[in-house]
Amino acid sequence: MKFVKITTENFEELKKLQTAYKAEIGEDSPKTEEFQSLYQAIETEQIYFYGCICEERLVGCCSVCVTYSTFQYGKAGVFEDFYIAPAYRHQGIARQLAQFAFQTSGVGSLTVGCADCDLKMYQAIGFEIPLGNMLAFEN
């Protein structure tokens, strides 16, 4: 088991995990244009992806977008795109991947928005401080 920062060099593997992640949560697979946009965001470091490699393949991923937060008056991260391939779940990868992403990204805190059904899972991997409700504003 090896934890890595995902770059555009392993983008094809990331695409497979992103497609599986979207399918599992009931969303459409990203379109070609969306993958192109994601590739550019990774390349220009607008988003950081972290992953776990087992048996020479990417089996888990998450992303961190860095922002500034007055929660601790410094860099903070928004944790998203969290997915572990089913065959690799319940092996401690999730907690280690979240910890690796936190340490490697250099942020002072990570926040995650999640569905009620995922709350216990996120608490189990280290997200413990409730910050109220997270809402999204979108066009």
Q: Say whether pLDDT at 139 is over 80.
A: no
- Read off the pLDDT band of 133 (50, 70, 90): confident
Looking at the DSSP bridge assignments, the partners of residue 2 are: 53
Out of 3.30.1360.230, 3.30.1240.10, 3.40.309.10, 3.40.630.30, the CATH code matching 2-124 is 3.40.630.30
Residues 8-61: tens digit of each pLDDT: 999 999 999 999 999 999 999 999 999 999 999 999 999 999 999 999 999 999
User: First and final CA of the chain: distance in angstroms?
Assistant: 41
Domain boundaries, the chain: 2-124
Report how far residue 7's alpha carbon sits from residue 48's, in angstroms, rounded to the nearest whole number.
8
Cα-based distances in Å from 59 to 17, 134, 139: 7, 28, 33
Average pLDDT over residues 70-85: 93
Mean residue pLDDT of the chain comes to: 94
